[in-house]
Amino acid sequence: MLQHPQVKGPGIGLLGISLGADICLSMASFLKNVAATVAINGSGTSGSRTIHYKQTSIPPLGHDLRRTRVTFSGILDIVDIRNDLIGGHENPSMIPIERAEGPILFIVGQDDHNWRSDFYAQTASHRLEAHGKAKPQVISYPGAGHYIEPPYFPMCPASLHKLPNKTVIWGGEFRAHSQAQVDAWKQILSFFSKHLGGTQDRVPPKL
C-alpha cells in the first residue's frame, strides 16, 4: 500500500467497520507504518476465530447462539450472544492495541445490535490507558445502529448474518442513524487530515 502512487506516506490510514474494524485494529497492532486507524463499531477482540501473527495467537472470545432472541417481527437479535469479557481490558481475547504506533478513533452506535460496540470501545480505551497510552477519541452516537456508512447511504436495519445463517437486526433509528453517518464522515476526514497530513479545505463529496 505504501508503494501505491496515490499514497502520500510515510504512513497509511486504516478504516474498517464491524469485523473490518477488528482487522484494522489487528493490523495497527502488529504492522509498522500505520499512522492512524478508524474503527467503526468494532469489538477489539478476536471474536469467533483465533488471530495468528507470527508467534502470537489471540484466542477467540466465543459466543453462544442460545442467547439469541427473536424480535416481534420474527427477525433474530444477536446482541447478547458473545461471551462475557472476563477480566475486562486484560482479557486474553483483546487485540493488543497498545502496540499501535498511531492514534485510534472509535466510532460507535449506541443502538448497535450486532454486539455492544459502545462497551467494547470503552474497554479498549481503558486498555490503552492501562498500558500508559493516551486516551483515544471515542465518538458515540445515540440511536445509531451497526452499519454507520458514508453519508446518504440508506440505513441497513436487517440482513443475513453468516453466523446464525439467518436474518438479524442491526439496530438504529432511521433519523438518528442518518445524522450519525453525516457527522461521522466529517469526523473521519478531520481525523485522517490531522494524522496523515493534508488539508481540510476540500470540496465536500456529493452523491
Share of the chain above pLDDT 70, in %: 95
pLDDT of residue 207: 53
Q: Show Cβ contacts of residue 178 under 8 Å, excluding neighbours closer than 6 positions.
A: 152, 155
Q: Taking 60 as the threshold, does the pLDDT of residue 203 lie above it?
A: no
Q: Taking 80 as the threshold, does the pLDDT of residue 64 lie above it?
A: yes
Share of the chain above pLDDT 90, in %: 86
Question: Where is pLDDT greater, at 121 or 203?
Answer: 121
Q: Where are the domains of the chain?
A: 12-196
pLDDT of residue 9: 80
Please give the Cα distance from 62 to 49 (Å, whole number).
8
pLDDT of residue 186: 97
Q: Strand 34-40 vs strand 12-17: parallel, antiparallel, or unpaired? A: parallel
Give the pLDDT band (50/70/90) at residue 198: low
Task: Indicate the fold that domain 12-196 takes in CATH.
Answer: Rossmann fold (3.40.50)
pLDDT of residue 72: 86
pLDDT of residue 200: 53
Cβ proximity of 187 and 139 under 8 Å: yes
125-157 tens-digit pLDDT: 999 999 999 999 999 999 999 999 999 999 999
Give the Cβ contact number of residue 122 at 10 Å.
Answer: 17
Q: Taking 70 as the threshold, does the pLDDT of residue 60 lie above it?
A: yes
In a 3-state reduction of DSSP, which class is residue 74? coil
- Beta-bridge partners for 4: none
105-114 tens-digit pLDDT: 999 999 999 9
The mean predicted confidence, pLDDT, of the chain is: 93
pLDDT of residue 201: 54
Give 116's Cβ-side CA count (13 Å radius).
11
As annotated, the active-site residues are 18, 112, 146
Angle at CA 74, nearest 5°, toward 72 and 75? 105
5-41 tens-digit pLDDT: 888 888 999 999 999 999 999 999 999 999 999 999 9
* Total-model pTM: 0.92
Give the mean pLDDT of 51-80.
94
- Beta-bridge partners for 94: 45
